Structure 1
Amino acid sequence: MRLPRAKQTNDVPTALSPNVIVLNMANNSFSGPISHFLCQKLDGRSKLEALDLSNNDLSGELSLCWKSWQSLTHVNLGNNNFSGKIPDSISSLFSLKALHLQNNSFSGSIPSSLRDCTSLGLLDLSGNKLLGNIPNWIGELTALKALCLRSNKFTGEIPSQICQLSSLTVLDVSDNELSGIIPRCLNNFSLMASIETPDDLFTDLEYSSYELEGLVLMTVGRELEYKGILRYVRMVDLSSNNFSGSIPTELSQLAGLRFLNLSRNHLMGRIPEKIGRMTSLLSLDLSTNHLSGEIPQSLADLTFLNLLNLSYNQLWGRIPLSTQLQSFDAFSYIGNAQLCGAPLTKNCTEDEESQGMDTIDENDEGSEMRWFYISMGLGFIVGCGGVCGALLFKKNWRYAYFQFLYDIRDWVYVAAAIRLNRLHDNLRRLLVSKTHHGSSSINFCFN
């Protein structure tokens, strides 16, 4: 039994038959809290499996009366004005498969009791005021296919346990305050690594012909709603955080990934050389980081790209020539002062292309010179220490060494004396010769 949707401006009704299975009151003007609805006394056990109150003006805190609705598998309270903490009692929904709480004002942390909802396949908490760390136990929810935590105040690192979610197809933690490095184990997302899409993917989250499940995601540069085709989405969005370090090369193994956004972080190093293996990519955004080096030639193999943004990094060299990379406008590459070639207006010359390499060579040469002087100093210390140590501990070596020095001293003294005597004799002969020559000239004048 389903209640018809009608435009209203009153509270959510309190009377509900226990035989109702799907209750869809989305896209109306209901306002106020829903505690009176959740805490109503039912005549018998509720059979409600799907509850959709999204896109209304509902407000207040969620009550603790979720234990009365243990048959619920799908809950959508998105796009309202709910506030306060997410109640622990929501974990009493043991059969819960999809939970939408996006675009409200929920605060506090993700309740640890949610780990008991082991059938949870979709969790959308985006657009709230949640804080704290992403919990390690998130890796225990192995049925998760979509995890959306966008636009909150989460801090800390992405826990490595998240890599246990091998069925994950959507990971969106953008626009938070996360830091640390990107986990290298993201290649464990086996459904993202596969190009094939299973026919039954997300079918367990759909309820009969009532298409309840969908997600609003930032892809190809704008917000789009994916409903009905959600099973074809493969996305990793870590943008607008404080991630550092390099882009893990393991990401290149996600051949089925369609949307990758790492923009507006503090990533360094090179773009992975094997990024061309991600042949399913439709959108790639690495802008506003500190990436350096040349653009990998393999990037030209991404023939399905609809969006490419490498702007505002420290890339250098010629943009690889291909039909694909030249099809994007200059805005995809601006903010890289040493980048040249079409579609940029800056033409490449040999000097410009080698400028980045020359910088690296200069750094390498400076490093080599530093190591040369360090090695020379260490060699002198070791050599001098070896000789002095041997003379200190070997008496006969010490006598022989100093006897050698005495012999050298005597030889130098004798050689110097002989040279001085020779110099003295030469000077004396010269004076005598000049004196004799002068006397002959005087005698000649008198004669």
Structure 2
Amino acid sequence: MAMINNGLSGLLASQTALNTMSQNVANVNVPGYTRQEVMLSARQSGFGVMGGNGVQVTGLRRVTDDFLAVQLWRAESDAGYRTQVSGYLDQLETVLGSPDSSLLPGLNNFFAALHSAAETPQSTAPRQQIIASAGALAQRFNYLAAQLDAQQRRVLDQTDAVNSQANSLLAQLAELNDQIKKVGAKGGNTGVLEDSRDETLRRLSGLVEIRTARQQDGTLNISLSQGQPLVLGNQAARIERQDQDIGVHFAGQEFPLDGGIGGSLGGLILHRHQQLLPAREELDRIAADFAGKINDQLALGEDLHGQPGRPLFSLDGNDAAGSIRVAEGLQAEDLALSGTSAAGPGNNDNLRALLALEDGGYEAFRTLVGALAITSAQWQADAAAANNIRAEAQARRDGVSGVNLDEEAMNMMTYVQSYQANAKVISTADQLFNTLLNMM
């Protein structure tokens, strides 16, 4: 009977192993699936000269490496962070640097009109051209301001979408923690649940950089890299935006967030506060400074009627680039291109002073675009490197935990042969038993 029991235990163990191999093969294309292995051990032998009591399945092991999993999550976070920022910077650079929207063509036309009026400053036609080119330049300021404001709205809308996605993943993680705790307490196999949790963590890490701490009951406590809690046991936090501020709400407490949280959410926060808003403020400063210098210089001259010069531009100091316009009611003869009356009628002294402002008008905008181009190029390079690192981290994780069909085929052959051999042991034991009965 011992021979039959040994063969039967080997038969059942081989069958369990084959079931496990088939599960691995069936899930080869499932994202985040971790292959499983059967853990076998010899049964305790009896007393005397017994050959043993066969084999037993002691459990199923998830072939995983926590270090590689953490590396993958951090690579996901860094790639999401840098890709998010580089994408918006590329859009910003395109808007500010495109010939169709850049200030440079508008500045060229405006100062070209001033140069054209230098020979006949008393003529109406070149004065009208100056007003027309000033209006076109103002429209370029307005367009750029509108584009930056539109990007700010897109950033906030995407922030809300990322928050919603993160909150959904946090709720899933809390539920998976609860299920893993219950199944593990009953001695069940939590492999599939842990796979789901790891894949959910990978997706969450692309949104924010996370830290995990494994508990004795199998659950994971999850927090942000800065320490704010996200999931404790079966309780999940919520990430919400209040006007311009973003925070984590957990157990009645609120923790503010900034761009240091990583992931695509951190990238959105950083881009808005450190790149987009400063660029918008700089555009306002350029508009206010340019309009102020032109208007101040015109105030020092006289128009065709010998009256003090009127402003060419009007604007709202709270939204200079978005509100700059040609002053309402301004006519060609109102442009104070002449100096004082003592210099003679029709002189262009003040016009020459306006032309002296040309270099300064270009410098500020070129500095803004140049700095943005350098920053954008650096972020583009960083994003490409981060995506390569993420791909490498995924490959390392899959090299350990992923399903290799060639390896599974070899394992199946091994366990099929083991199954057949144990079946032969049972058949041989049966023949020996029948022979013994026939001899009696």
Name the one with the larger strand percent. 1
Name the one with the larger helix percent. 2
Do they superpose with TM above 0.5?
Answer: no
TM-score by length of 2: 0.18
Larger radius of gyration: 1
Q: Which has the higher contact order (CA 8 A, sep 6+)?
A: 2
